[in-house]
């Protein structure tokens, strides 16, 4: 078995490897190359060196504004999504009646696409703000909190499932021992349960971090950046740079490369920190 | 043996994934269409052309607002479009590598007004294929109701008499005051300012002050004199924009989430008397379910802004649809594309499609006076175009420096409507943005 696996490994892996090359590695390398060129069509490029990277910061502040907005949004949504998801998971792993129904209901928003969610929440929020004769475009703060609510609604269910799985893996003998030793409920939660579900926390914070940072469709459908470009996040800023000014395709590409480096770096640091907190039972 | 079978099977798998990428030698014209509303007509045209000539016309339509994206993507493939369109001189500067010189084509020789084409040096790179017009569309039935209304304060008795901003605003404000008696929610449809839907103001309405500014300064649109503006007619823009906002169906603070379709629907349902839009909006009005506006009641009037001598101002008529032939495809394919254009705009069958199905008002001399579209707004545009003593406003917005400029303008207008920006700030920003964006693009 082992031997034949080794023998045919290359053949069976080939289709996937080719697909991965075509859909990921090649576009990625091309993307990096394109960030050093000026182009309209990607097969017709002029090399310009670092000019595009300089233009990111000199032409206007849109990138820095988007970065700041995205950072604020990411911090808020990591905290809220994970706290709510963990809370729900705790409630729904106690064996109360209808647990499965609740789990399905909370998970469902995750199955709806971002654009649709964006439009639904746009209608809902405008419906509420309409009472005060304003709408979501009135202030950047409305758009910000709208996005936070939307993201929470969408991601909590998914994270909850991961936490539920984590909680089910906490050995009951450890909890029982803590109970007998006289640990209070909060003590059991913070000193036993949470350290034991640290692997789930690692995964969930990673997922919320990277998806909040890369959020695009929800942003487009909910606010499209309004008012002005004050609520546009990094991905949308890149998109706008690419299409809204002639000759700025390379600059957008450079922004995308910077964006990639940022996301990779932050996610790496986060993984290192949360991993170091994981414990064995 | 097994090994060979495994190898063959996995190769089939891989090859299968690339099936359909094969190339055929048949003659094909690929056209990337800009107008989704007429995508179906092109399927018919493609069939008819295949029957007539045996040449395949493949039409792909870019979804609304995604033409540039689609074009950029398609141009990077081997099967790039042979026919595509640009939106004027600004579009040309981005696509100049791909625009073939059309000065020797037959279709160009039939263009009645050669100044409309996109030119650079001696070359002709874009040929306008449709002429469109916009202004204030009004519902004649509601206007008549107003003129028959005994409590009205103005002395105007017909829409013919409205020929400047002063009269227009007097009528509009009086109508707004009596909106309940007229059975409307407001005189103007919502000034839709949702991001991405604000082009009727940040592009079309903005054309008027820019047109007057360039006209006054005698500025040639192709020269670099358009590099900055003073927005000297900004007050006129404010006049009409305020009129739209203050006499509307929707409070100004809520305009950021209204889209263009909504405001056209308000017009179609008879909830308002006027809406600013172009002749392409006819289908949007007549196609709305529950439409209460009769064909014969849809009329156009020019957008009056309070400029001196505007009594002779007409509709804004022009084009931002210029056809280009891709210079990167083979000579033979370019020739095919040129022949197709001549067939569409020159042959009887082709012209029939253009007039009755595409409903284009074209600028080619192959069309006789009775071969013009018969839909109500197109007819109105043609009649305004030919009215004696009326000066048509040209579409100078084709030189607006970039989409960012238009978007920023649109979002400032929204902030102005919501009360978080003053008009002075808006107009300062317009001037600054224009100069900056022009600089970045050139």
Residue of A nearest to B72 (CA): A41
The SS3 assignment for B97 reads helix
Residue A222 lies in a domain: yes
User: Minimal Cα–Cα distance from B173 to chain A, Å?
Assistant: 22
Confidence bin at B48 (pLDDT 50/70/90)? very high
Does residue A39 sit within a domain?
A: no
Residues A116 and A232 occupy one common structural domain: yes
How high is the pLDDT of residue B20? Answer: 47
Q: Are residues A261 and A129 in the same domain?
A: yes
> Which residue of chain B comes nearest to A119, CA vs CA?
B257
Per-residue confidence band for B413, with pLDDT thresholds at 50, 70 and 90: very high
Per-residue pLDDT, averaged over B389-404, amounts to 88
Q: Is the pLDDT of residue B382 over 90?
A: no
The percentage of chain B sitting over the pLDDT mark of 90, rounded to a whole number, equals 41
Q: Can you give the pLDDT at residue B305?
A: 93
Q: Do A168 and A98 belong together in one domain? A: yes
- Name which of B9-23, B66-80, B104-118 the model is least confident about: B9-23
Same domain membership, residue A88 and residue A10 = no
Residue B12 is predicted with a pLDDT of 59
**Cα(B80)–Cα(B28) distance, integer angstroms:** 11
Q: Look up the ipTM and state it.
A: 0.79
Secondary structure (H, E, C), chain A: CHHHHHHHHHHHHHHHHHHHHHHHHHHHHHHHHHCCEEECCCCCEEECCCHHHHHHHHCCCHHHHHHHHHHHHHHHHHHHHHHHHHHHHHHCCCCCCCHHHHHHHHHHHHHCCHHHHHHHHHHHHHHHHHHHCCCCCCCHHHHHHHHHHHHHHHHHHHHHHHHHHHHHCCCHHHHHHHHHCCCCHHHHHHHHHHHHCHHHHHHHHHHHHHHHHCCCHHHHHHCCCCCCCCCCCHHHHHHHHHHHCCCCHHHHHHHHHHHHHHHHHHHHHHHHHHHHCCCCC
Looking at the structure, tell me whether residues A22 and A129 fall in a common domain: no
User: Between these two residues, A96 and A82, which has the higher pLDDT value?
Assistant: A82
Q: Between residues A44 and A25, which one has the greater pLDDT?
A: A25
In this predicted structure, what is the pLDDT of residue B22? 46
- Among B7, B69, B255, whose Cβ lies nearest the Cβ of A243? B69
Mean pLDDT of A147-160: 92
Pairing of strands B391-393, B313-318: parallel
Q: What does the block give as tokens for B249?
A: 């169906």
Are β-strands B132-139 and B298-301 bridged in parallel, bridged antiparallel, or unpaired? antiparallel
DSSP B373-442: --SHHHHHHHHHHH-TT-EEEP-GGGG---HHHHHHHHHHHHHHHHTSS-HHHHHHHHHHHHHHHHHHH-
Between B356 and B5, name the one with better pLDDT.
B356
φ/ψ (deg, to 5) at A70? -65, -40
Q: How confident is the model at residue B154 (pLDDT cuts 50, 70, 90)?
A: confident
What is the C-alpha to C-alpha distance for residues B80 and B329, in angstroms, rounded to an integer?
Answer: 8
| CB within 8 Å: A227 and B411 | yes
Q: Interior CA angle at B281 toward B277 and B287, to 5°?
A: 145
pLDDT of B26 higher than 80: no
Whether A139 and A189 share a structural domain? yes
Two structure tokens written together for A1:
């078995």
Q: Is there a contact between B418 and A44 if contact means CB atoms under 8 Å apart?
A: no
Q: Provide mean pLDDT across the span B169-179.
A: 92
Q: A139 and A26 in one domain? A: no
Q: CATH number for the domain including A209?
A: 1.10.3720.10
Q: Give the pLDDT of residue B151.
A: 85
Chain A residues whose CB is inside 8 A of the B402 CB are 244-246
Q: Is residue A43 part of a domain?
A: no
A57 belongs to a structural domain: no
State whether A138 and A251 are in the same domain: yes
CA atoms within 13 A on the CB side of A15: 15
- Residue found by looking up tokens 């005051």 in the block: B177
Question: Which span out of B3-7, B70-74, B113-117 was modeled with the highest average pLDDT?
Answer: B70-74
Of the partner residues A14, A40, A223, the one whose CB lies closest to the CB of residue B72:
A40
**Mean pLDDT on B183-191:** 93
Domain annotation covers residue A159:
yes
Query: What is the rounded average pLDDT of the residues A255-276?
Result: 90
B307-342 tens-digit pLDDT? 998 999 999 998 888 999 999 999 999 999 999 999
Domains and CATH numbers, chain B: 26-131+319-367 (3.40.190.10), 134-317+391-441 (3.40.190.10)
- Decide if pLDDT at A106 tops 90: no
Q: Is the pLDDT of residue B420 over 80?
A: yes
Comparing B395 with B11, the larger pLDDT belongs to B395
Query: Is residue A44, in this structure, part of any structural domain at all?
Result: no
The verdict on B76 touching A (C-beta cutoff 8 Å) is yes
Q: Nearest CA of chain A to the CA of B81: how many Å?
A: 13
- pTM exceeding the 0.90 threshold for the entire prediction: no
Number of structural domains in chain A: 2
Residues A13 and A74 in one domain: no
Residue B421 forms contact with A (CB below 8 Å): no
Distance of CA B126 to the CA centre of its chain: 16
pLDDT-derived band at B13, boundaries 50, 70, 90? low
What is the 8-class DSSP label of residue B296? Answer: G
Residue A272 CA to residue B107 CA, distance in Å, equals 66
Length of chain B: 442
> Is the pLDDT score of A26 beyond 90?
yes
Q: How close is the nearest chain A Cα to the Cα of B195, in Å?
A: 6
Given a cut of 50, whether residue B293 has pLDDT beyond it is: yes
Asked if the C-beta of B253 comes within 8 angstroms of chain A's C-beta atoms, the answer is: yes
Position B222 pLDDT exceeds 80:
no
Asked whether residue A81 falls in the same domain as residue A12, the answer is no
Identify the band that residue A170 occupies on the pLDDT scale cut at 50, 70 and 90.
Answer: confident
pLDDT, mean of residues B150-159:
87
Indicate if the alpha-carbon torsion angle B246, B250, B255, B261 is positive or negative. negative
Contacts of B60 (CB under 8 A, 6+ apart): B30, B31, B32, B33, B70, B74, B81
pLDDT at B5: 65
SS3 category, B59: strand
Place of tokens 């317009």: B430
Question: Pairing mode, if any, of strands B272-278 and B186-188?
Answer: parallel
Residue B166 has pLDDT above 90, yes or no: yes
State which residues form the domain around A213.
Answer: 63-276
Answer yes or no: do B93 and A135 touch at CB < 8 A. no
Report in angstroms the alpha-carbon separations of A158 from A95, A110, A162.
19, 7, 7
Q: Are residues A24 and A85 in the same domain?
A: no
For residue B195, the chain A residues in CB contact (below 8 A) are 137, 223-226
pLDDT score of B16: 54
Is B72 in Cβ contact with A137 (below 8 Å)?
A: no
Are the beta carbons of B196 and A224 separated by less than 8 Å?
A: yes
Whether the per-residue pLDDT at B350 is higher than 50: the answer is yes
pLDDT of residue B21: 47
- Measured at the CA of B50, the angle between CA B44 and CA B53, to 5 degrees, comes to 135
| pLDDT score at B32 | 93
- Alpha-helical regions (H) of B217-274: 234-246, 260-268
> Which pLDDT does position B1 carry in this prediction?
59
Of A204-213, B160-169, B214-223, the range with the lowest mean pLDDT is: B214-223
Residue with tokens 């309070």, as numbered in its chain: B306
- Cβ of B72 within 8 Å of Cβ of A229? The answer is no
3-class DSSP assignment, residue B49: helix
Average pLDDT, chain A: 88
The model's pLDDT over B79-108, given as tens digits with 9 standing for 90+, comes to 899 999 998 888 888 888 899 999 889 999
How far B356 CA lies from chain A's nearest CA (Å)? Answer: 34
Same domain for A73 and A24? no
Q: Does B432 touch chain A (CB under 8 A)?
A: no
Q: Say what the pLDDT of residue B14 is.
A: 58
Q: Which pLDDT value is given to residue B46?
A: 92
Tens digit of pLDDT for each residue in A171-203?
888 888 988 988 888 888 888 888 888 889 988
pLDDT given at position B439: 87
Query: Which whole number is the average pLDDT over B49-71?
Result: 88
Residue B253: closest C-alpha in chain A? A134
A94 in a structural domain: yes
Q: What is the mean pLDDT of residues B287-291?
A: 81
């Amino acid at each position: 078995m082992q031997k034949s696996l080794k023998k045919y490994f290359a053949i069976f892996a080939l289709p996937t490897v080719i697909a991965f090359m075509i859909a990921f590695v090649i576009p990625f390398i091309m993307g990096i190359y394109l960030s050093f060129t000026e182009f309209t069509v990607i097969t017709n490029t002029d090399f310009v060196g670092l000019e595009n990277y300089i233009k990111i910061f000199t032409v206007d502040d849109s990138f820095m504004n988007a970065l700041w907005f995205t950072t604020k949004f990411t911090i808020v949504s990591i905290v809220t999504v994970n706290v709510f998801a963990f809370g729900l998971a705790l409630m729904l792993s106690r064996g109360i009646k209808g647990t499965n129904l609740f789990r399905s209901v909370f998970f469902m928003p995750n199955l709806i696409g971002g654009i649709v969610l964006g439009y639904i929440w746009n209608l809902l929020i405008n419906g509420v703000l309409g009472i005060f004769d304003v709408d979501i475009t009135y202030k950047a703060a409305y758009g910000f909190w709208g996005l936070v609510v939307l993201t929470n609604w969408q991601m909590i269910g998914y994270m909850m499932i991961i936490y539920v799985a984590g909680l089910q893996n906490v050995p009951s003998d450890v909890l029982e021992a803590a109970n007998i030793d006289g640990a209070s409920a909060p003590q059991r939660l913070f000193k036993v349960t949470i350290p034991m579900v640290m692997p789930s926390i690692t995964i969930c914070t990673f997922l919320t971090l990277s998806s909040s940072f890369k959020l695009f469709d929800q942003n487009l459908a909910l606010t499209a950046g309004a008012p002005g470009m004050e609520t546009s996040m990094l991905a949308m800023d890149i998109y706008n740079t690419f299409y809204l000014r002639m000759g700025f395709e390379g600059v957008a590409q450079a922004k995308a490369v910077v964006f990639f480096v940022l996301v990779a770096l932050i996610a790496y640091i986060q993984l290192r920190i949360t991993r170091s907190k994981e414990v064995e039972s | 043996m097994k090994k060979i079978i495994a190898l063959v099977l996995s190769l089939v798998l891989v090859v299968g994934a690339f099936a359909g990428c094969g190339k055929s030698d048949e003659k094909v014209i690929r056209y990337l269409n800009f107008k989704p509303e007429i995508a179906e007509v092109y399927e018919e045209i493609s069939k008819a052309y295949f029957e007539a000539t045996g040449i395949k016309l493949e039409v792909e339509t870019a979804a609304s607002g995604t033409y540039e994206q689609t074009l950029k993507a398609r141009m990077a493939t081997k099967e790039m479009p042979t026919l595509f369109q640009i939106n004027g001189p600004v579009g040309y500067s981005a696509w100049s590598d791909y625009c073939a010189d059309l000065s020797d084509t037959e279709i160009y020789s039939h263009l009645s007004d050669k100044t409309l084409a996109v030119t650079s040096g001696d070359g002709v790179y874009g040929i306008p294929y449709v002429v469109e017009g916009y202004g204030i569309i009004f519902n004649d039935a509601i206007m008549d109701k107003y003129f028959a209304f005994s409590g009205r304060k103005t002395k105007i008795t017909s829409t013919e008499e409205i020929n400047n901003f002063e009269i227009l605003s007097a009528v509009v404000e009086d109508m707004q005051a009596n909106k309940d008696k007229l059975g409307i929610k407001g005189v103007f449809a919502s000034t839709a300012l949702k991001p991405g839907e604000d082009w009727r103001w940040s592009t079309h309405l903005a054309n008027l002050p820019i047109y007057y500014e360039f006209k006054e300064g005698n500025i040639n649109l192709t020269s670099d004199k358009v590099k900055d503006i003073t927005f000297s007619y900004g007050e006129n823009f404010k006049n009409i924009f305020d009129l739209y906002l203050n006499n509307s169906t929707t409070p100004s603070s809520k305009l950021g989430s209204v889209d263009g379709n909504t405001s056209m629907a308000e017009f179609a349902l008879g909830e308002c008397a006027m809406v600013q839009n172009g002749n392409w909006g006819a289908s949007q009005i007549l196609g709305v379910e529950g439409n209460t506006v009769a064909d014969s009641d849809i009329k156009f009037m020019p957008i009056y802004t309070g400029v001196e001598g505007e009594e002779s101002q007409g509709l804004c008529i022009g084009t931002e649809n210029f056809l280009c032939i891709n210079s990167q495809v083979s000579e033979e394919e370019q020739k095919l594309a040129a022949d197709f254009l001549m067939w569409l705009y020159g042959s009887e069958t082709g012209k029939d499609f253009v007039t009755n199905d595409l409903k284009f008002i074209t600028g080619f001399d192959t069309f006789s006076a009775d071969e013009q579209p018969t839909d109500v707004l197109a007819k109105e545009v043609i009649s305004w175009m030919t009215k004696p003593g009326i000066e048509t406003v040209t579409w100078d917005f084709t030189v607006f420096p970039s989409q960012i400029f238009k978007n920023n303008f649109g979002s400032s207008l929204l902030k102005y409507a919501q009360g978080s920006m003053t008009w002075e700030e808006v107009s300062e920003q317009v001037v600054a943005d224009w100069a900056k964006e022009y600089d970045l693009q050139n």
